[in-house]
């Protein structure tokens, strides 16, 4: 059944496999299976055997690494190794790594007579991604049929999480408890509840720019590092990133912010803000749109230094008055207002007063960063319904460097009349204080973060 190594002659690009099948399908029935196949197991083997028995050629398409969304540290095996493992099976004739997150494009290219899925996909309503319905339409378009196998079912994710997890024991226990008390349907139903919400996000619109460089060496005349610029990437940052996160979950999302007069930055924001989101952007002619430019060593992927392009003097005059009006109107019609305050002069006392007076539910994140030198603290806000900050920012607010963190959260909650306070702690996870539940600890759910930039903003938005 299994050969020693994956037969390389079986593995092709998707386009090459489509051309090969076109030349040899006459009189032969082509069957296609598709999946991640991370940790190949007996359930997969029985599924593939049954699929092969339905036709003359079995082709298997594999989800590429960049589209595997099974959680931290996944896939456990890279796409080439997963393809090699499948090619080692006698029942598999050809393997291709897909070029998309879903299989419908591969179905249209390969045009199989049968597209075969496991019996667990028989009920489309049990597939929250809607993938099986799209695949069913694709196989129908090419004149084929959808077929389900009926054998024992195992989950690679469950096997890996249970027996091969790289997560610390504390994180494993936490996830086990969530699975036991809520389960996937409970979590998904909770997220679906956000679809009815109208959410307004208020704060600084920021453009995050990354200049990738390679070090040349020290200048011969000065004690200065010299680098060669290689490439540049720009991203919608600040509250724009938060809005883009929420657009996938909430029915209506609106960004309310301040921008400079530059047409180029306005067009960038227009092109990079999710098209489903509304935006109210007040122009400030005396200041630029904030650009945070970081210079990155491309070899070590480490930040060398940063340059901020901004005017952080407090908003005033007509721009402030217009911003206060915009915040008042938007907050009054929203179910929830999320504030992300980077401390660059936008969130003035008048703006904060308008928010506190009009927001039905006010979620506040106040950040300490290089641009505000610790002068930006939670004490600016007299009330909130949710506070989500880093441990450092919570301690900075109370000028309490060493005290018990639970006591720090309790003091913030009492002062602001806030029923929910969360402090994120990086690799140590997060700790929260909720009026009814008391103190809740959440471990970090990955042991090897790839990029921490913007993680706190995303955490705050979903909290």
Edge to edge, what strands does the sheet with 57-62 contain? 11-12, 94-97, 57-62, 30-35, 114-117, 145-148
| Peptide bond between residue 205 and the one before it cis (omega within 30 degrees of 0) | no
pLDDT of residue 161: 57
- Tokens coding 257: 């912010």
Greatest C-alpha distance within the chain: 78
pLDDT of residue 6: 57
pLDDT of residue 128: 63
Residue 30 and residue 201: Cα distance in Å, rounded? 51
pLDDT of residue 77: 86
pLDDT of residue 58: 96
- Cα–Cα–Cα angle for 432, 434, 439, nearest 5°? 50
Per-position b or e across 23-48, b if 16+ CB within 10 A of its CB = eebeeeebbbbbbbbbbbeebbbbbb
- Tokens coding 183: 């389960």
pLDDT of residue 184: 83
Residue ranges in the chain modelled with pLDDT below 50? 1-4, 163
pLDDT of residue 291: 96
Rounded to two decimals, what is the model's pTM? 0.72
């Amino acid at each position: 059944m299994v050969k020693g190594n994956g037969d390389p002659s079986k593995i092709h690009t998707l386009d090459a496999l489509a051309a090969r099948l076109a030349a040899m399908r006459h009189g032969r029935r082509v069957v296609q299976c598709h999946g991640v196949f991370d940790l190949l197991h007996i359930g997969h083997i029985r599924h593939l055997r049954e699929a092969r028995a339905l036709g003359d050629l079995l082709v298997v398409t594999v989800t590429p690494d960049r589209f595997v969304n099974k959680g931290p540290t996944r896939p456990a095996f890279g796409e080439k190794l997963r393809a090699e493992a499948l090619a080692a099976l006698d029942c598999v004739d050809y393997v291709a790594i897909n070029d998309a997150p879903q299989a419908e494009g591969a179905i249209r290219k390969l045009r199989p007579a049968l597209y075969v899925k496991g019996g667990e996909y028989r009920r489309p309503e049990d597939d929250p991604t809607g993938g099986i319905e799209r695949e069913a339409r694709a196989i129908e378009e090419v004149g084929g049929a959808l077929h389900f196998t009926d054998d024992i079912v195992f989950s690679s994710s469950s096997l890996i999480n249970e027996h091969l997890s790289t997560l610390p024991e504390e994180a494993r226990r936490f996830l086990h408890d969530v699975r036991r008390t809520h389960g996937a349907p409970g979590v998904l139903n909770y997220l679906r509840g956000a679809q009815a919400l109208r959410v307004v996000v208020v704060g600084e619109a920021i453009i995050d720019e990354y200049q990738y460089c390679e070090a040349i060496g020290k200048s011969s005349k000065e004690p200065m590092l010299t680098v060669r610029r290689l490439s540049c990437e720009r991203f919608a940052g600040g509250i724009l990133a938060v809005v883009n996160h929420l657009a996938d979950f909430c029915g209506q999302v609106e960004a309310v912010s301040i921008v400079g007069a530059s047409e180029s930055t306005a067009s960038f924001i227009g092109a990079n803000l999710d098209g489903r989101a509304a935006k109210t952007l007040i122009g400030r002619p005396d200041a630029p749109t904030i650009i945070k430019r970081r210079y990155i060593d491309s070899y070590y992927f480490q930040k060398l230094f940063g340059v901020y392009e901004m005017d952080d003097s407090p908003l005033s005059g007509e721009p402030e008055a217009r911003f206060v009006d915009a915040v008042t109107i938007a907050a009054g019609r929203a179910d929830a207002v999320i504030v992300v305050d980077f401390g660059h002069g936008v969130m003035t006392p008048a703006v904060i007063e308008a928010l506190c007076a009009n927001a039905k539910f006010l979620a506040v994140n106040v950040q300490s960063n290089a641009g505000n030198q610790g002068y930006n603290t939670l004490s600016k806000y007299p009330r909130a319904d949710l506070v989500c900050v880093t441990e450092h920012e919570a301690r900075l607010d109370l000028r309490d460097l060493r005290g018990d963190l639970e006591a720090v959260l309790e003091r913030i909650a009492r002062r602001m009349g806030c029923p929910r306070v969360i402090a994120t702690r990086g690799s140590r996870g997060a700790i929260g204080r909720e009026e009814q539940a008391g103190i809740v600890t959440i471990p970090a759910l990955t042991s090897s973060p790839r990029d921490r930039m913007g993680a706190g903003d995303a955490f705050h938005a979903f909290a």
